[in-house]
Amino acid sequence: MTHQTIIVLDFGSQYTQLIARRLRELSVYSEIWPPTTPAATIRARHPAGIILSGGPKSVSDAGAPACDQALFDLGTPVLGICYGMQLMAHSLGGRVAPAPQREFGHATVTITGTSGPSAALFANIPPSIRVWASHGDFVAAAPAGFVVVATSANAPIAAMADPGRALHAILFHPEVVHTESGLEILRNFAYGICGCTGDWTMASFVEEATAKIRAAVGDGRVVCALSGGVDSTVAALILHRAVGDKLTCIFVDNGVLRLNEAAQIRKRYERLALPLVFVDASVLFLDRLAGVTDPETKRKIIGATFIDVFDEQAAKLGRVDFLAQGTLYPDVIESVSIVGQSEMIKSHHNVGGLPERMRMKLVEPLRELFKDEVRAVGRKLGLEEEFVVRQPFPGPGLAVRILGEVSAPRLDLLRRADAVVAEEVKNAGWYERLWQSFAVLLPVQSVGVMGDARTYEYTVAIRAVESRDGMTADWARLPHDLLARISSRIVNEVKGINRVVYDISSKPPSTIEWE
């Protein structure tokens, strides 16, 4: 089945992936492509629409990203967002100039075009909306054929349209939650202008992913990396559905898992009847991490060691042709600009391909899904709820929640503190409301007093965030009595920790994990 697709050209906005995410919420399939993709390549895909994302550059900058100008003549509806609007104006003979007053953050937009084809983007939208702006330039003069359909205090052309050519553009970001009626604006574009019908669902994804894997694997054998989380579990279930006994799952105890986690995971997978090889490589991982304090080096060591262990285990299985991973779209976006202009934030253990010495090809059934989509797929596959709602856990495990060197004694401290956090958050009914909640061991010792004795012990930071997809996150306003219980239990039950602090930073500017 070929879905109606809206292609998003990525000009480097931190929100580009959110455009794709919001479209998928509308059951419209979307993909993010490089901005330099030739118009002929886009035409060959027969997209229902094209969106030009925002971006950090000015269209007048040397080397500013541009698109193939021929895409404006394809007859396919195009929506320019922020930089995408400026690029559309600049490419078609309008004038873009530095704004007298830059707009970053909230702005109020007044809809001036309320009827006719030029106003299709704002059908059933209130006449005045608060939006999220992020631009230093503005469109000083619209290209010939365009009608101004919205204004703001600092932008006389906040939206414009040339319905004859199916070109629409806005100077704000409808994809972020701060924009009122933002999802409705994207719905108007996808359904009202592009003619989409919402034919992409999780059920259709499962069927297509199963068929694609079956075709790609053929008579080959697959080994799947299982971490115990929802991503790799859903990937394994889809693979098992597609190839049956050609699949072997491998779970590696890397020594940096949570309290009693390896044993619990082993029991869970036995209940799922997935073909499983359990490998205890904890000593190897901790030996290689000894003395290492740099976060990026820790991640790379863990990633390389995973590959070593899998290569060794796969060799024991005989001929294995494919390695499967539960890589998600945010992993790809945050790690490296594979699809567009977005800058790398950190390396990811699941991303970047395989070294040439490894004899397997990579298969990633979930590579284009966001976390909540994976959970929806898990429910479609009948996965028990404890897997579906499980909070994300980093591939490098507790190694990136221990700042500084990873050692057995420090792991023991963090495991016990983290177990307290998990237990109290669940008991308070907050676990499923949070994206993640966990403890971080800091390389900081401070003076305390217990009884009549002076202590000089470690500090633990508690991190709890709310998020929809992990790309942005806000620190959770946990009740003070919950934080008090967590702090009291950690200090009293975990010998070696005498101070607990709460992290109140959001993403951005911080990341969710500390390393």
Q: CB neighbours of 276 closer than 8 A, spacing ≥ 6?
A: 226, 248, 249, 250, 251, 266, 269, 270
50: β partners = 7, 78
User: Which one of 82, 194, 196, 224 is the catalytic residue?
Assistant: 82
Q: Clarify whether 424 is annotated catalytic.
A: no
Let me know if 296 is a catalytic residue.
Answer: no
Per-residue burial over 212-250, b if 16 or more Cβ lie within 10 Å, else e, is: ebeeebeeebbbbbbbbbbbbbbbbbbbbbbbeebbbbb
Whole-number Å distance between alpha carbons of 146 and 129 = 22
H or E element that contains 333: helix 329-335
**SS3 category, 33:** strand
Distances in Å between the Cα of 45 and the Cα atoms of 6, 19, 201 are 10, 19, 20
Per-residue CA distances from 370 to 85, 184, 231, 392, 447 (Å): 27, 21, 10, 12, 44
Strands (E), 128-205: 128-141, 147-152, 155-162, 167-170
Q: Coil, helix or strand for 307?
A: helix
Active-site position among 3, 135, 168, 175: 175
Contact predicate 176/132, CB 8 Å: yes
432 is catalytic: no
Of 173, 240, 348, 349, catalytic: 173
The DSSP string of 58-81 is -TTSTT-----GGGGGSSS-EEEE
Tokens found for residue 86 = 């400026």
At a CB cut-off of 8 Å and minimum separation 6, what does 177 contact? 468
Residues serving a catalytic function are 82, 173, 175
